Amino acid sequence: MLDIGPIHRKEYELDDDRSEPIVIAEAPGRIHYLGDHGEPKAGLYLSSAIDRHIRVAVSPRKDSSIRFFAADLGERKRTTLVNLKYKREDRWANYIKVAIHLFAGLGRPVKGLNFTVAGDIPQHIGMASSAALEIASVMALKGLFRVPMNDQDILDRLAASQEALFSKTPNRVDYEVILTARKDNFLIVDEVLRTVQRIKSPLTGCKILIMDSRVPRIGVEDELSQRRQDLKKGLELLASRKPSVNFRNFLTSELVESTGNLPEEIRRRCMHVVQELRRVNDAGAALQSGDLAAMSRVFFHSHESLRDLYEVSCPEIDWLVKRAQETEGVLGSRMTGPGFGGCTYSFIRAEAMEEFRCRLEDYERIFGFHPLSYELKIDTGARIISK
Positions annotated as catalytic residues are 174
Q: Collapsing DSSP states into helix, strand and coil, what is residue 332?
A: strand
Distance, CA of 33 to CA of 361 (rounded, Å): 25
Cα–chain center distance at 66? 28
Distance, CA of 62 to CA of 367 (rounded, Å): 56
Q: Collapsing DSSP states into helix, strand and coil, what is residue 151?
A: helix
Beta strands in 171-305 (DSSP E): 185-190, 195-200, 206-212
| Nearest Cα to Cα of residue 162 among 102, 120, 242, 218 | 102
Q: Collapsing DSSP states into helix, strand and coil, what is residue 69?
A: strand
Cβ-contact 265, 295 below 8 angstroms: no
Angle at 72 between CA 66 and CA 74, to 5 degrees: 60
Distance, CA of 294 to CA of 282 (rounded, Å): 8
C-alpha to C-alpha distances, 122 to 52, 211, 299, nearest whole angstrom: 8, 11, 23
| Nearest Cα to Cα of residue 147 among 109, 96, 94 | 109
Distance, CA of 175 to CA of 178 (rounded, Å): 5
Helix (H) or strand (E) holding 286: helix 264-289
Burial (CB count <10 Å: 0-12, 13-18, 19+), residue 293: exposed
Running DSSP on this structure, what letter comes out for residue 89? G
